[in-house]
Structure formats: C-alpha cells, structure tokens
Amino acid sequence: MGKVYQVKKRKNFTPIIWAIFLATIMISSILGFVMTSDPNTVQYKGINFYQQNGIWQAKIKGIEYQFQFHPIDVASLNISSLVYQQLTAPQVILTFNANTTALADLDTFRFNYGLAMQDAGNVVSYGVLSNTSRYSFPVVTCSDATSSVPVVVVDAEGSKLTLIPMNSCLLVSGSPYELARLGDYLHYRLLGVIGE
C-alpha cells in the first residue's frame, strides 16, 4: 500500500491582518482628533473664540478681546438700524438712575459699552437722571438729546430687553443678563464680527 500523505491546510491570515490594520487606523484617527481638538474653542466667521474661566476670548484685528457671550449667543438680537445708529453715534451721552438697586449691573454695562465705543473711536459721556452724591456726572435727560449727540437712558430693572427710540433719545431697559448681551452685541458689531 502506498503512502498516504496528509496535506496540511495553511491558515489564511489575510482577514486578520486587514482587521488589525483597520482597527489601528480607526484608533489612531480617534486619538488624533481627541489630542488636537480643544473643546473650549469655537470658530465663528474665521475667528477662533476660546473660553477660559467662563469668559470668551478672541484675537480680532490683532487685538485680544474678552466677552461674556459668544457671537452665536447674541447675533439673534433684533436691533433696528435706527436704534443701532443711536447707540453707536460718534458721540453719545449715556445716563441712568443712580439711585437704583441695580447700580452694579448698570456700572458693568456702562463700562463694557464704553470699551466697545472706545474701540470704535466713538466718544461716550456719562450723566445721571437726577442729582446724586454717588457720581460727579451732570444731570442729563432726554431733553438734552440732539441729533448729533443722542442720549441713551439705561435701566437695569426690566425683565426683557426693550429699546424705545424717542427722537434723539433712546430708552434701554432690561435685566442685567440682557444688558450684558446687548453690550457684547454692540462690541461684536462695532468690530465687524457680526452684521445687521
């Protein structure tokens, strides 16, 4: 009787090699994405905004700016062109009630509004609605408004943002949150980050 030869069947490792190869690519892709992406950075119209300690920061036109809100959060504010023109006139007088309980919020808005206007090359003067020992500002009311120097009267005790133009005077009322949104909206728009 002849010899019987057993032919050993060679194992095909090709599917296993492909599986390991694909798994390596997938894992390295995920690791590369995780390692290079910053979860605190959000891009808006080509500008990188990053959040640090709850404050949004961005380099715009070569200058580092800070904001309470990202442009996406304020771009939806519906500000008419007349109101925007009054708020951003080359010279504006901002006045407020110095006897309000929301004085700290008004001061924050006043400070941020002043910075936005200064960055745009505009001038903001300040006044109060009635005499007070807290500020040395002059008394300024809507009757002092002119077409070349509008008066903006701000109140931080409203519940929602209200903007009422009255000839060359603009009444602005809103919660501290809404006033902060308005301040960032104006700053972004003056810097050209958001449009009409």
Tens digits of residue pLDDT in 50-84 = 999 999 999 998 999 999 999 999 999 989 999 99
Which of 181, 182, 161, 174 lies closest to 102, judged by CA?
174
The pLDDT of residue 10 is 65
Residues whose CB is less than 8 angstroms from the CB of residue 172 and which lie 6 or more positions away in sequence, other chains included = 87, 152, 153, 154, 155, 161, 162, 163, 179, 182
Identify the domain containing residue 125 by its residue range.
73-191
The model's pTM is 0.75
pLDDT reported for residue 6 = 64
Residue 28 lies in a domain: no
What pLDDT score was predicted for residue 63? 92
Q: Which residues contact 58 (CB under 8 A, 6 or more apart)?
A: 47, 48, 49, 50, 64, 65, 67
Q: What is the pLDDT of residue 158?
A: 83
155 within some domain: yes
Residue 2 lies in a domain: no
User: Using an 8 Å Cβ cutoff, are 187 and 60 in contact?
Assistant: no
Give a yes or no: residue 100 inside a domain: yes
- Segments of the chain scoring below 50 in pLDDT: 33-36
Evaluate whether 154 touches 174 at the Cβ level (below 8 Å): no
Residue 130 located in a structural domain: yes
Does any domain span residue 158?
Answer: yes
97: left (phi over 0), alpha (psi -120 to 50) or beta: beta
**CATH number for the domain including 83?**
3.30.379
Cβ-contact 67, 188 below 8 angstroms = yes
Q: What is the pLDDT of residue 33?
A: 47
For the chain, the domain total comes to 1
